[in-house]
Structure 1
């Protein structure tokens, strides 16, 4: 099977290790991964801020970049939701049907739960809003984490509450965003876990920033990094 990696702006610019982990994981499962070099921003920041005219060229460019691929896989629930929910509003209907968030692709297309990962740490999982509400990822990430050797999964209180990032919301409403993030950090710290993981590095960037400023020992980490970790090549 051959897929295209839709790495997203945040991962490419700030968290390239997550893109590398995604490729390692998929290749370990027998998937051939291409990286179309023409991909840029999918247009989500512009669209969410109301700049529809500025979004359209990015929608067209992204659609062209991934032409010819049966599956497009992204380690980002928010960008997957942008393509799936909003690209049809611009008349683009082919790419949405072929775009999958990573845990969704593993569960629904490859049909795997145990990906051969090893991560001997306590983990709590934050379901980001786009993955939870727009994509309906549900138990998929939790089942994947539950099958990781050595991993102890702890329930996150108030898991379905927004962390407060919300892209441009964090810029326009900084005080509210920070307060929501502090609530999320407080709940995560109460679990006593070593790692808070999620499927969106944008949310983890927000939460992780608060964790560092409050000197919390908890580490924010993308689920792809955990699933890519093995006994032979451990992440931590």
Structure 2
């Protein structure tokens, strides 16, 4: 299949290795991957701040860049959530409706669409704590939110369990928000920082060597919190592990 690779702004600017790993992994799995070089933001930051009308030009550019692919895949749950559920500042043509329906975050794409059963090149002999961002957990359905009291499932854990040597440790409050929340971390800085301190401390007490997540934004926030607390925890995106990163 022909896949359009969408690399969100902060991954492009701060974590390019995550975009590269996504490209490499999809190609390892035998798919044609195209990176539209004119892509920019999907419009999420403006929409989240209430500026829907100001999203029009950005969303129109996104549609022009990504129309015509079998699927669009991104290593970011919050951006995919915006495209799939809130890309409504533009006219809802058939192309836009198709694009919204076929845009996937990398974990759900590997788990639900490709149904990958093995990553023979992947080894990660470390203790790992999994962080599900609020959006991937409750909007994209990555896992069962504990507050709903439904049967347990976890797509990230399903994929990571196929990696040789990995050991999972679970924090006491696994579904608790880390405090990033996009612009929330700017206009509620003190609250955001305290939530982040609590989150990384919880993982450290569980014995995590690494915190792994499908959202680099949450990890960026937690990495800063862990650094300020002097906690020796490392951070890595799930796609890097599945692509074969060892440390």
Kindly indicate whether the alpha-carbon contact (under 8 Å) linking 2:197 and 2:229 is maintained by their aligned counterparts in 1. Answer: no
Paired residues of 2:53 and 2:89 also in contact (CA < 8 A): no
Q: Does 2:147 align with 1:132?
A: no
Q: Partners of 1:199 and 1:26 in 2: how far apart?
A: 15
CA distance in 2, matches of 1:156, 1:219: 15
Following TM superposition, by how much is the alpha carbon of 1:177 offset from its aligned partner in structure 2, in angstroms? Answer: 0.5
- What TM-score comes out, normalization by structure 2 length? 0.91
| Alignment equivalent of 2:156, drawn from 137, 141, 144 | 141
Distance in 1, Cα, partners of 2:156 & 2:8: 19
Structure 2 equivalent of residue 39 of structure 1: 39
In 2: Cα distance, 1:63 partner to 1:115 partner: 32
Question: Aligned partners of 1:186 and 1:30: how far apart in 2?
Answer: 40
Where 1:235 maps in the other structure, the secondary structure is coil
5+ residue gaps, structure 1, are: none
**2:101 equivalent to 1:97:** yes
Structure 2 residue 232 is the aligned partner of structure 1 residue 217: yes
Aligned residue for 1:113? 117
TM-score (norm 1): 0.95
CA distance in 2, matches of 1:113, 1:165: 32
Task: Tell whether 2:167 aligns with 1:156.
Answer: no
- 1: CA distance between counterparts of 2:112 and 2:160? 16
Aligned length: 232
1:34 Cα deviation after fit: 0.8
The answer to whether the 8 A contact 1:145-1:153 is kept is: no
Q: 2:188 aligns with which of 167, 173, 190?
A: 173
Structure-2 separation of matches of 1:122 and 1:191:
10
Distance in 1 (alpha carbons) for counterparts of 2:246 and 2:26: 16
Return the alpha-carbon distance in structure 2 between the equivalents of residues 67 and 96 of structure 1: 10
1:59 matched residue in structure 2? 59
Is the 1:113–1:143 Cα contact (8 Å) retained in structure 2?
no
Aligned with 2:18: secondary structure? Answer: helix
Runs of 4+ residues deviating >6 angstroms: none
Return 5+ residue gaps in structure 2 as ranges: 144-153
Q: Distance in 1 between matches of 2:51 and 2:198?
A: 31
| Aligned partner of residue 104 in structure 2, secondary structure | strand
- Quote the offset at 1:93 in angstroms: 2.0
Q: Which residue of 2 aligns with 1:188?
A: 203
Match of 2:81, SS state, is helix
Q: Secondary structure of the equivalent of 1:38?
A: coil
User: CA-atom RMSD, angstroms?
Assistant: 1.2
